[in-house]
């Protein structure tokens, strides 16, 4: 999930264990699960996900323009339709110039003006490509690399290391001193998703490398390049060297290896090759005294390549990536060529999404708060916000009680964990403070320029954080985003309005379904504060060890058993989940589901939900959890996920239930069933 900084909110801090009861059992309440999705022929103890979703999977086809289909897509479609209506309404009535409605309408109109885009051709890139051609020296190159730097990378989010800029930049609180905002430098420079795509000897990776080279050549030829074959070889050779300098994904996620504070002088002495002073000045970072270097060896290697590789090769590389990044806003031939590689080849998606849908995606990416403010005003009632806040309070209470009940954890460690819970900032639905996008110029006839200016505006917004107080309530997602996030440095959570919809959250459903679905999602995000990365941060967001040595050993041993559990999942012949790469998400799934179950019980106030359609409340709770992960994915996309994603595939995430004792009781799972784990083998971390 790529995150953009989008605003701030005065979030609520919950400090007392007040319990909020769910609505009492009522004949008017829906059960919140779909019994028709199940495959009753599959024993729950053999494959709970297939039992919950097997009939759905057999009859469901992945849309031609998607790499997968499932619950998140169903909810996304609802948000997409709403966004389309909002954008249409924004253009009605001739809104005033500079108003949010006018900016939304003009951005959308420019993207949809295919006739104008075809007529302009490559003209919007003429000046930028000319500047690349004028690069004659290492000083010119450093200046060009600095000018294209953008702050859109979150190093704590595993899916975000892929950036076509040579360096990634993240601007946020310092790991060791969260009272100050600092710039982070990260590895970048690749056109494919990960170093493994360049370095792996697997035959399927070799085929993707060949396809990538073909794409580079066709794109350059389309743009009028006189020697595309020679340029392809030079670009690919350079990117192979860049990939060789990169750290692998698992190493990159080790936050303890990331807190490397370098001064400007140390940038030059530790990572020679790039003219750092020129680069920093062009990037607007020349007033910064220190930088956090997330992957020192990678930054050293990338800087060395700037110094060692010929200027003409870097010009080729910059030219290709300028065309590649701009292709969605260029004539159809460029757009379809890019989709042919990134969509068809990498994801296995046969058909590109309708242009109006892609237009909405881009409007939301660049004007997210402008759309979001209108979105929540129409589609997120105060009653839903209140009910979700009550659920959050129950989840936090349940998690705190789980901490109290840990026999293996020392009192000192428990006190630190409970302090994190009490100070956790939880945003539900939307931020209270919205961006006004003042100074951003959006034109109805300039889609390339709109995207560039929006990117530049966002970058300046990020740079403006330096020297100011920390906004602890900053939001990282738009309200119309179907997702959720934990922010370790802020000790905060964001739950956007768009994910708070059926079947994740249904105000008409009973507690079993809502706690099994959105409750588990809330629990998951809370638990990220205590996963293998989040547990390294204290209540103030500082990277600090607050564990006793004995407690840390126990935590790591339990984590190791979870790694082994997920390593055993074979998602395709010979293709296994990486338990180490997905560890943080798997910890959050296990702990979050356990906390959600406890919160569900707390919400009932000692009562029991009735049996409905032969299912007890507990059975519906676990069924809702598994059905919230129903998913069908194309093989190419699944292979890419295994390489680059920190999340296990949805089918395996649904099997998290095998670590919870109540699931065994609810579905009478016995020894001999394929998912059965002996009590001592069930992973209990929190």
Q: pLDDT digits over 517-543, tens only?
A: 999 999 999 999 999 999 999 999 999
pLDDT at residue 451 tops 50: yes
Give yes or no for residue 511 having a pLDDT over 50: yes
- As given in the structure block, the two tokens for residue 257 are 């290896």
> Residue 464, class by beta-carbon neighbours within 10 Å (0-12 exposed, 13-18 middle, 19+ buried)?
exposed
So what's the pLDDT on residue 9?
Answer: 21
pLDDT category, 152, cuts 50, 70, 90? Answer: confident
* pLDDT category of residue 153 using cuts at 50, 70 and 90: low
Q: What is the pLDDT of residue 320?
A: 98
pTM: 0.92
Using N-to-C axis directions, what is the helix angle for 583-603 and 520-527, rounded to 10°?
A: 130
Q: What percent of the chain has pLDDT over 70?
A: 94
Protein fold of 383-431+480-686: Collagenase (Catalytic Domain) (3.40.390)
Helices and strands (H and E) in the chain: how many = 29, 14
Give 11's pLDDT tier (boundaries 50, 70, 90).
Answer: very low
What does the mean pLDDT of the chain come to? 93
The pLDDT tens digits for 466-494 are 999 899 888 999 999 999 999 999 999 99
Give the integer Cα–Cα distance in Å for 45 and 668.
Answer: 8
Q: State how far the Cα of 419 lies from the Cα of 310, in Å rounded to an integer.
A: 54
Q: CB atoms < 10 A from the CB of 118, how many? A: 12
Tens digits of residue pLDDT in 498-509: 999 999 999 999
Question: What number is the average pLDDT over the span 619-645?
Answer: 97
Beta-carbon contacts of residue 301 (< 8 Å; ≥ 6 apart): 242, 244, 245, 246
Residue 163 has pLDDT above 90, yes or no: no
- Flag whether pLDDT at 307 surpasses 90: yes
Bond prior to 647 in cis (omega within 30° of 0): no
Is the pLDDT at 80 greater than 60? The verdict is yes
Compute the distance between CA of residue 319 and CA of residue 609 in angstroms, rounded to an integer.
63
Q: What is the pLDDT of residues 312-340, one digit of tens each?
A: 999 999 999 999 999 999 999 999 999 99
> pLDDT of 113-135, one tens digit each?
999 999 999 999 999 999 999 99
Structure tokens at 178: 């969260």
| pLDDT band, very low/low/confident/very high, at 158 (cuts 50, 70, 90) | very low
DSSP string, 622-682: HHHHHHTT-EEE-HHHHHHHHHH-SSPPHHHHHGGGGG-HHHHHHHT--BTBTT---GGGS
pLDDT confidence of 94, banded at 50, 70, 90?
Answer: confident
Mean predicted confidence (pLDDT) in 595-612: 95
pLDDT score at 648:
98
Residue 137 clears pLDDT 90, i.e. is over it: yes
Name the residue ranges covered by the structural domains of the chain: 106-365, 383-431+480-686
Q: Which residue has the tokens 């032969």?
A: 614
pLDDT at 432: 84
- Distance between CA atoms of residues 633 and 631, nearest Å: 6
Residue 608 phi/psi, 5° resolution? -120, 140
- Residue 662: HSE in the Cβ half-sphere, 13 Å Cα cutoff: 18
The answer to whether 642 and 577 are in contact (CB under 8 A) is yes
pLDDT, position 159: 36
- The band of 170, judged by pLDDT with boundaries at 50, 70 and 90, is very high
Rounded to 5 degrees, what are φ and ψ at 452?
-65, -45
Distance CA 111, CA 326 (A): 12
Q: How many CB atoms lie within 10 A of CB 201?
A: 6
Q: Which CATH class is domain 106-365?
A: mainly alpha
Mean local confidence (pLDDT), 240-251: 96
CA 110 and chain centroid, separation: 28
Q: What is the mean pLDDT of residues 64-84?
A: 97
């Amino acid at each position: 999930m790529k995150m953009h900084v989008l605003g701030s909110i005065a979030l609520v801090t919950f400090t007392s264990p007040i319990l909020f009861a769910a609505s009492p059992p009522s004949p008017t309440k829906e059960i919140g699960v779909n019994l028709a999705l199940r495959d009753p022929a599959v024993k729950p103890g053999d494959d709970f996900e297939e039992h919950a979703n097997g009939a759905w999977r057999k009859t469901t086809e992945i849309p031609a323009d998607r790499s997968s289909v499932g619950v998140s897509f169903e909810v996304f479609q609802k948000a997409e339709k709403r966004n389309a209506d909002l954008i249409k309404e924004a253009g009605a009535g001739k809104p005033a110039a500079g108003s949010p409605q006018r900016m939304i309408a003009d951005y959308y109109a420019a993207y949809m003006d295919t006739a104008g885009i075809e007529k302009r051709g490559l003209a919007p890139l003429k000046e930028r490509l000319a500047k690349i051609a004028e690069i004659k020296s290492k000083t010119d190159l450093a200046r060009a690399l600095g000018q294209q730097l953008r702050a859109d990378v979150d190093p704590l989010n595993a899916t975000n290391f892929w950036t076509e800029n040579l360096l990634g930049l993240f601007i946020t609180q310092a790991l060791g001193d969260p009272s100050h905002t600092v710039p982070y430098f990260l590895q970048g420079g690749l056109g494919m998703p990960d170093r493994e795509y360049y370095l792996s000897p697997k035959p399927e990776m070799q085929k993707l490398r060949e396809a990538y080279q073909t794409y580079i050549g066709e794109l350059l030829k389309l743009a009028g390049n006189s020697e595309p074959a020679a340029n392809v070889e030079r670009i690919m050779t350079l990117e192979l060297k860049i990939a060789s300098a990169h750290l692998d994904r698992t190493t990159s996620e080790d936050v303890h290896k990331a807190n490397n504070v370098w001064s400007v002088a140390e940038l030059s002495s530790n990572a020679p090759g790039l003219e750092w002073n020129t680069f920093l000045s062009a990037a607007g970072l020349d007033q910064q005294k220190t930088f956090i270097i997330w992957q020192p060896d990678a930054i050293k290697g990338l800087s060395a390549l700037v110094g060692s590789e010929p200027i003409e090769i870097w010009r080729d590389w910059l030219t290709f990536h300028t065309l590649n990044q701009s292709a969605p806003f260029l004539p159809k031939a460029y757009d379809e060529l890019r989709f042919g590689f990134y969509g068809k080849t990498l994801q296995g998606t046969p058909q590109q999404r309708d242009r109006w849908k892609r237009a909405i995606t881009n409007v939301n990416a660049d004007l997210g708060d402008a759309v979001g403010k209108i979105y929540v005003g129409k589609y997120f009632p105060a009653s839903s916000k209140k009910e979700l806040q009550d659920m959050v309070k129950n989840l936090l209470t349940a998690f705190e009680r789980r901490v109290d009940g840990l026999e293996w954890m020392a009192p000192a460690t428990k006190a630190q964990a409970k302090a994190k819970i009490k100070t956790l900032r939880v945003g539900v639905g939307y931020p209270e403070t919205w961006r006004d996008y003042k100074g951003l110029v959006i034109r109805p006839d300039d889609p390339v320029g709109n995207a560039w200016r929006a990117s530049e505006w966002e970058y300046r917004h990020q740079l403006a954080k330096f020297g100011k107080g920390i906004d602890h309530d900053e939001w990282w997602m738009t309200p119309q985003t179907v997702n959720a996030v934990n922010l370790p440095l802020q000790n905060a959570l964001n739950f956007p309005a768009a994910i708070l919809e059926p079947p994740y959250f249904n105000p008409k459903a009973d507690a079993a379904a809502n706690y099994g679905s959105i409750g588990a999602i809330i629990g998951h995000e809370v638990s990220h504060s205590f996963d293998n990365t989040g547990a390294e941060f204290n209540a103030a967001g500082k990277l600090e060890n607050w564990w006793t040595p004995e407690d840390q050993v126990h935590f790591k041993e339990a984590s190791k058993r979870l790694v082994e559990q997920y390593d055993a999942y074979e998602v395709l012949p010979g293709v296994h989940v990486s338990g180490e790469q997905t560890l943080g998400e798997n910890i959050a799934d296990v702990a979050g589901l356990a906390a959600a179950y406890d919160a569900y019980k707390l919400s009932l106030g000692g009562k029991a939900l009735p049996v409905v359609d032969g299912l007890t409340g507990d059975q519906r709770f676990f069924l809702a959890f598994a059905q919230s992960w129903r998913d069908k994915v194309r093989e190419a996309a699944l292979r890419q996920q295994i390489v680059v994603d920190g999340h296990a595939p949805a089918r395996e995430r649904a099997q998290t239930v095998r670590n919870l004792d109540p699931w065994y009781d609810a579905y009478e799972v016995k020894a001999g069933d394929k998912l059965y784990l002996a009590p001592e083998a069930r992973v209990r971390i929190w």
